[in-house]
Amino acid sequence: MKNDTSNAVFSLVLPNVRALRAYEAKEIPCRVKLDANESPYMPANADVVADAMRLVELNRYPDPDASALKKILAGMHGLSPDNLLLGNGSDEIISLLITTFGGPVLYPVPTFSMYGIIARGLGAGCVEVPLDARFDLDVARMKEAISASNPKLIFLASPNNPTGNRFLDERILEICEASSGIVVVDEAYQPFAGGDGFIPRLADFPRMIVLRTLSKIGLAALRLGFMAASPEIVGEVNKIRLPFNINSLSQAAAVCALSKFDGINSAIESIAAGRDRMVAEMAGVNGVTVFPSDANFILFRVGDAPGVYARLLERGILVRNLDSSVGGCLRVTVGRPEENSEFIEALKGAVI
Ligand code: PMP
């Protein structure tokens, strides 16, 4: 009986959804959590943020435009609020973009898995183009794929997840020139790369969108991402955004947390410094190949990735096993200095 019911449900599911597997984000018990590219630091004014929560009128719907928050984000990035659209995490914006523009959706691989998962879920075609040997964009192959498939959307995560590197600016610009569709530069990790990224270039490329998130800079619990683009693009995507997608608690907490950006900036700086130290130390561990990183995480190859992953976990250290997407590789998020040191010590013992 039970099987009959689940078969009946399965056969009702759209074929493109049926073929998917859910994104794995399960909680694995550990002592040192270095698997999800989060910040190890709470905002310095976490107590003030808690006070701000008391002012939220829980009986009222949120501000559908999140005006106060948009004003702050616009000011931080030299934009007008009309250039911004907020999402429940940048994940939601990826979904809104594919819903708005459709496919084919083109992206290099390996990259952030949600582009493919969301595109397939929405029935959009996917075109995947391998990165070159240095994990940078293979412009010749990308251009060939653009001519062959004429993608509506191209996603370029720079710095890229899981490889950690920024793509060369001129390569991103070449892709923008070659495409007649929308190019999304996903800058989830840009704060750790230094510089302003592509937001200042939006004026030169009317079909470019820059994605950002607050998740990596100490506010992952709020689920807040935003896209910066022309008011025309924002207006189109806004047609399918659900009216109250950013809840009042997240709006109030973000407004309050971002008012103390100095604290957030110093956390970003210490994470970037910790990353550089870790890369140098990991390079000295026998049996480990470490890849350069502009992000708050590091990709490294160990050969027996499942074995090393398991041995690190035995010592309470959780990293991300990428063996199925980047053979032999693991990804470690930069934590607090003492967590990083513990990781390095454990890694020495885990690589045999
Ligand atoms: N883009 C990239 C490249 C990411 O790695 C992530 C998070 N893993 C996201 C977007 C989504 O971030 P969020 O939904 O938390 O804003």
Output the domain CATH number for residue 172: 3.40.640.10
How many angstroms is it from 201 CA to the middle of ligand 1?
Answer: 21
Same domain, 31 and 175: no
Residue 13, domain member (yes or no): no
Phi, psi angles (nearest 5°) of residue 51: -60, -40
Residue 15, domain member (yes or no): no
How many angstroms is it from 299 CA to the middle of ligand 1?
Answer: 16
Same domain, 163 and 178: yes
Same domain, 220 and 193: yes
Partner residues linked to 330 by β-bridges: 300, 321
Residue 8, domain member (yes or no): no
Report the number of distinct structural domains present in the chain: 2
Same domain, 216 and 279: no
Same domain, 290 and 165: no
Tell me which residue range forms the domain holding 335: 21-42+262-350
Same domain, 111 and 224: yes
How many angstroms is it from 185 CA to the middle of ligand 1?
Answer: 12
Say yes or no: CB of residue 38 within 6 Å of ligand 1. Answer: no
- Give the CATH number of the domain where residue 309 resides: 3.90.1150.10
Confidence of residue 26 (pLDDT cuts 50, 70, 90): confident
DSSP labels, 25-70: ------SEE-SS---SS--TTHHHHHHHHHT--TTS---TT-HHHH
Cα separation of 171 and 251, whole Å? 36
How many angstroms is it from 157 CA to the middle of ligand 1?
Answer: 9
Q: Cα separations (Å) of 97 from 115, 155, 209, 228?
A: 10, 10, 10, 12
Same domain, 269 and 328: yes
Q: Give the pairing type, strands 208-213 and 329-333.
A: unpaired
Partner residues linked to 32 by β-bridges: 317
Among 231, 259, 287, identify where a domain stops.
259
Asked, as a colleague might, if the bond just before 110 is cis with ω within 30 of 0, I would say: yes
Mutate to test the pocket of ligand 1, among 88, 167, 186 (most ligand atoms within 8 A of CB): 186
Integer Rg of the chain from CA: 21
Cα separation of 44 and 195, whole Å? 23
Same domain, 34 and 183: no
131, 109 contact by CB (below 8 A): yes
pLDDT, one tens digit per residue, over 235-268 is: 999 999 999 999 999 999 999 999 877 788 899 9
Q: Is the pLDDT of residue 189 over 80?
A: yes
Tell me the one-letter amino acid at 134.
R
Same domain, 71 and 141: yes
Say yes or no: CB of residue 187 within 6 Å of ligand 1. Answer: no
Say yes or no: CB of residue 225 within 6 Å of ligand 1. Answer: yes
Is 296 exposed, middle or buried, given 0-12, 13-18 or 19+ CB atoms closer than 10 A? buried
Q: Looking at ligand 1, which residue's alpha carbon is closest to its atom 6?
A: 188
SS3 for 170-215 is HHHHHHHHHCCCEEEEECCCHHHCCCCCCHHHHHHCCCEEEEEECH
Mean pLDDT of 144-165: 98
Confidence of residue 3 (pLDDT cuts 50, 70, 90): low
Among 259, 293, 320, identify where a domain stops.
259
